Structure 1
Amino acid sequence: MSCSTAFMSVNLMSNNEISYVEFLHECEGRFYFQVLVDETDGNLRTDCFKKSSKCLTSLIQVQNQYLLLKDDNQFGIQTLTIAQQDSPNCKFRIHYYNESDKKKRKGRPVMLYVKKSNCIAVVCCRNAQEIYTKEKTALPENIDEDIDEALFYMSQLPDKTNTYMLESCLYHSNFLGFKPLKDNPCKLTLALYRKVDEVDESVEVTLLRK
């Protein structure tokens, strides 16, 4: 009989205690498990978020203009021609994560990033108002904490085409939106807004698939 390998989590109950184990593989009718315990402190070893295989590439549209990452790693919004829309600095990858705790907020956890020549620039929350980019060689496969500066909960608005809200995982009720630059109020940049009304267009983001 051939051997097969798969992974899943199950609970075993013994003496009124619950032990968390991971199914490793089956071989010739025998099942092999591993107890999920951190050897350093004896605590349960779990991952709050795991990177999935799902990833979308989109343009982010703002009032008939588009969000892009400039050479100084700052966000800008400008009009783009059809040819310019193929530039890597305006193509945002949206990578989905799976969450171990299903009782979280509305939407799916995602990370947003732009591909650069030798790294990726990941959208992160500096604080409850400001957004910045962090350069990485790759996205994390697993996140052990239940909050992260680069994770957002993305949910689609049912009554609007290609329109989404992206809530910060780190700051509850704060969503990605756009605000005027301090030194140039006529131009917008990416920021976090606290949503106070049920309908708030300032935190609605239009994604155009590429």
Structure 2
Amino acid sequence: MATSNFTPVTFCDICSNAFYFDVKVAITEVDVDTYMITDQYQNYKLLSHDDKFLLLNDERKFQAQLLNAKEQHQSDCRFNINIYKDSCQETQHRAVILSIVKDDKRMVACCSGNNEISAVEMELPHTIPETSHKALFYLKKLPAHNKFMFESSVYPSKFLGFEPDEDNPTLNKLVLRHKTSDEVDETAELTLMK
């Protein structure tokens, strides 16, 4: 005999109109969310709400700026969106890591303190055993054509977004922006372009 979750039980005896069973509890690992890399990835240019292109500058900082047609073809403004599969298959949104290759090094967009996003040199992890990781985001499709949001797996309700750079107001830097589910924040919306 087995219980509904397949724990084996054995009938022992009847005593005073009661049935007695011996339950054999096996100690097993508890299934937790694990993200595994897939072969699926897409290469995109990412645009902010004000049509600035996201790129990784020479100081290894993510920033958005206006680019002419020639500059848009540079490799430092084409990002890979690597897709990760959830072992439990219960999430509604796709888990992804955003990366770019610059100077033959893979740089990954990672959450850091104070709502900052930093470029961290790393190989893409094949498996992420936690439910959150500094480089893992949930890609959420918006109703508008090619518009998406990237929610941090470490900081729920915080999304990749832009704000003006204090040193150069013509540039926007990539940050984490807090947004509630019913709030509209165009600075946290990205357009993906092939």
TM-score of the superposition, structure 2-length normalised?
Answer: 0.80
Deviation, 1:118, is 2.6
- Are residue 74 (structure 1) and residue 61 (structure 2) matched? yes
Q: How does 1:29-40 map to 2 (within 5 A)?
A: none
Query: Which of the two has higher C-alpha Rg?
Result: 2
| Alignment partners' CA distance in 2, 1:59 and 1:164 | 13
Q: How does 1:127-142 map to 2 (within 5 A)?
A: 127=113, 129-136=115-122, 138-142=123-127
Q: Could you give the per-residue CA deviations for residues 127-186 of structure 1, whole angstroms, max 9, x where no partner exists?
A: 2511001102x211111111100000001112x111001100000000010011123334
Which amino acid letter does the alignment assign opposite residue 65 of structure 1?
K
- Are residue 54 (structure 1) and residue 47 (structure 2) matched? no
CA contact (8 A) 2:53 2:64 kept: yes
Change (3 A) 1:185 1:78: closer
SS at match of 1:184: coil
Deviation, 1:76, is 2.1
- Are residue 91 (structure 1) and residue 91 (structure 2) matched? no
SS at match of 1:120: strand
- Are residue 13 (structure 1) and residue 6 (structure 2) matched? yes
Deviation, 1:126, is 0.4
Q: What is the number of equivalent residue pairs in this alignment?
A: 174
Q: How does 1:143-162 map to 2 (within 5 A)?
A: 143-158=128-143, 160-162=144-146
| Alignment partners' CA distance in 1, 2:93 and 2:79 | 18
Partner of 1:31: none
CA contact (8 A) 1:128 1:174 kept: no
SS at match of 1:146: coil
- Are residue 113 (structure 1) and residue 99 (structure 2) matched? yes
Which amino acid letter does the alignment assign opposite residue 90 of structure 2?
K
CA contact (8 A) 2:65 2:170 kept: no
Q: Displaced runs of 4+ in structure 1, greater than 4 A?
A: 16-19, 44-47
Stretches of structure 2 that go unaligned for 5 or more consecutive residues are: 10-23
- State the identity as a percent: 34
Q: Could you give the per-residue CA deviations for residues 39-63 of structure 1, whole angstroms, max 9, x where no partner exists?
A: xxx7457661000111000001122
Partner of 2:160: 176
RMSD in angstroms over aligned alpha carbons? 2.3
| Alignment partners' CA distance in 2, 1:154 and 1:58 | 14
Q: Could you give the per-residue CA deviations for residues 20-79 of structure 1, whole angstroms, max 9, x where no partner exists?
A: xxxxxxxxxxxxxxxxx9xxxx74576610001110000011222211100110122222
CA contact (8 A) 1:128 1:171 kept: no
Partner of 2:172: 188
Higher strand share: 1
Which amino acid letter does the alignment assign opposite residue 84 of structure 1?
E
Deviation, 1:14, is 4.8
Greater relative contact order (CA < 8 Å, ≥ 6 in sequence): 2
Change (3 A) 1:155 1:128: farther
